[in-house]
């Protein structure tokens, strides 16, 4: 039996991201910090172990002590919190990182939760 190898694979083209579904790195970081701060005492280490995140990095992220922007870490934390986000560097001439959320529902939920996490409670 001889198999023919063509060397071609069916590849789906990468669509242009919907820029209406983007959130800034700064907002994503605030969201991640707020959600991590919601974890109860003693829950951070098991969270890190479950999601294979480095505890020290997560503590630094949570406490605002990162030495530089860490978009991959923020993306992994968002994913671990149930929020799928794709990184996007825009504009092309800059190094600004944005995150594209999967749909309008995810964006609305993100915005509502971010508002809850960042607006001072009276």
Task: Give pTM, 2 decimals.
Answer: 0.84
Mean pLDDT of 53-68: 96
16: CB partners within 8 A, 6+ apart: none
Is a pLDDT exceeding 80 seen at residue 44? yes
pLDDT of residue 31: 97
Angle among Cα 57, 60, 65 to the nearest 5 degrees reads 135
Mean pLDDT of the chain: 89
Sheet holding 97-100, edge to edge: 22-24, 97-100, 86-89
Residues 64-103: tens digit of each pLDDT: 999 999 999 999 999 999 999 999 887 767 778 999 999 9
Q: How many CB atoms lie within 10 A of CB 114?
A: 17
Angle among Cα 105, 110, 116 to the nearest 5 degrees reads 130
Q: Which residues pair with 97 in a beta bridge?
A: 89
β strands within 1-122, DSSP E: 22-24, 86-89, 97-100
pLDDT of residue 78: 97
* Residue ranges covered by each domain of the chain: 20-115
Task: State the DSSP code for 54.
Answer: -
- Percent of the chain clearing pLDDT 90 (strictly above): 72
pLDDT of residue 109: 96
């Amino acid at each position: 039996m001889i198999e023919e190898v063509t060397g071609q694979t069916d590849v789906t083209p990468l669509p242009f991201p919907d820029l209406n579904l983007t959130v800034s790195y700064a907002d994503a970081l605030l969201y991640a910090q707020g959600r991590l701060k919601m974890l109860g005492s003693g829950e951070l280490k098991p969270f890190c172990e479950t999601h294979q995140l480095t505890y020290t990095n997560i503590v630094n992220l949570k406490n605002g002590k990162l030495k530089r922007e860490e978009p991959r870490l923020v993306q992994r934390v968002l994913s671990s919190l149930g929020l799928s986000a794709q990184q996007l560097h825009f504009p092309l001439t800059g190094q600004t990182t944005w995150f594209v959320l999967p749909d309008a529902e995810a964006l609305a939920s993100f915005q509502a939760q971010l508002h809850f996490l960042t607006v001072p409670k009276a």
